[in-house]
């Protein structure tokens, strides 16, 4: 098994761990973590593909760098939404 295939498999597994969490957990905070894990799994697949050549494929790396910033801003918005939903429920 090549290194690329190994990391591709780890990425797929990580994505599935996130999906499993999303399907089975009820808590908003944990679900947001689960979505983040799924995102990391996709990034891992992309970087494993980028590492097929040396040096790494700059296009894929640049896409993932952009993706990271988008992921953190989406997480921030999701947490705020979850927070206001919680407050709406309790009041």
Q: How far is the CB of 1 from other proteins (least distance, A)?
A: 9
Number of residues that bind other proteins (CB under 8 A): 72
> What residues between 61 and 80 interact with other proteins by CB under 8 A?
61-66, 68-70, 72-77, 79-80
What distance lies between CA 10 and its chain's CA centroid?
A: 13
Residue 41 Cβ vs other proteins, minimum distance, rounded to whole Å: 9
Q: How far is the CB of 16 from other proteins (least distance, A)?
A: 5
DSSP string, 38-66: HHHHHHHHHHHHHTTSSS--HHHHHHHHH
Q: Determine the Cα–Cα distance for residues 23 and 38; give it in Å rounded to an integer.
A: 12
Taking alpha carbons only, the member of 38, 43, 50 closest to residue 66 is 43
Residues 10-39 contacting other proteins, CB under 8 A: 10, 12-21, 23-30, 32-34, 36-37
42 is a contact residue toward other proteins (CB under 8 A) = no
């Amino acid at each position: 098994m090549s290194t690329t295939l190994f990391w591709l498999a780890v990425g797929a597994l990580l994505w599935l761990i996130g999906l499993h969490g999303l399907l089975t957990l009820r808590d908003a905070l944990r679900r947001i973590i689960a979505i983040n894990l799924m995102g990391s799994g996709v990034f891992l697949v992309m970087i494993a593909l980028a590492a097929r050549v040396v040096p790494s494929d700059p296009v894929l790396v640049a896409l993932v760098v952009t993706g990271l910033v988008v992921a953190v801003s989406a997480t921030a918005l999701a947490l705020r939404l979850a927070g206001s939903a919680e407050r709406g429920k309790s009041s």
